[in-house]
Amino acid sequence: MARVYLSLGSNINRHHYIRVALDTLRQVFGELVVSPVYESEAVGFDGDNFYNLVVGLHTGSSVGELQRKIKAIEDENGRVRGGPKFSSRTLDIDILTYDDCVGVIDGVALPRDEIVHNAFVLWPLADVAGTELHPQLQRSYGELWAEYDKSKQALWRVELN
């Protein structure tokens, strides 16, 4: 079984879609490790604030199978494709890491580059996997978060009720 970390985000009816995504991921993959939820401003476009979090899980699926499953979950929840890369969305699920894999596997670049560039990915990843090592940098996510320039992006913790 592979250890996987996924990022989840939503800025359209975000409370609903994050809840539905978590419920669906539990049904498909079983037990999840779930980070706190963070709210952040939209990055790269003018839009409503996002909710973001990271989920850890184990899967026997290949990277390609996992990618198909999470894209199906997005589609089932109203994800519109074909628009601008940076735009509002009901649900965005991305594979951050798949074990210690590095490179393009089944069309998925691993580890996901935005881990070290976006606070809304790195902070929740450090919450759930702070002592684990980034597969390329060989530094812990906790260390990477401690050194991250937190003035680059406003981010704050919120409660999902």
Give tens-digit pLDDT for 58-102.
999 999 999 999 999 998 877 666 666 666 788 999 999 999 999
Query: Do 129 and 6 form a contact (C-beta atoms < 8 A)?
Result: no
Range of the domain at 73: 2-158
How many independent structural domains does the chain possess?
1
How far apart (Å, rounded) are the C-alpha atoms in residues 139 and 147?
11
Report the CATH number that the domain containing residue 87 is assigned in CATH: 3.30.70.560
Place of tokens 């037990």: 31
Q: pTM for this one?
A: 0.93
Contact criterion met (CB below 8 Å) for 101 and 112:
no
Q: Is the dihedral of CA 98, 40, 25, 131 positive or negative?
A: positive
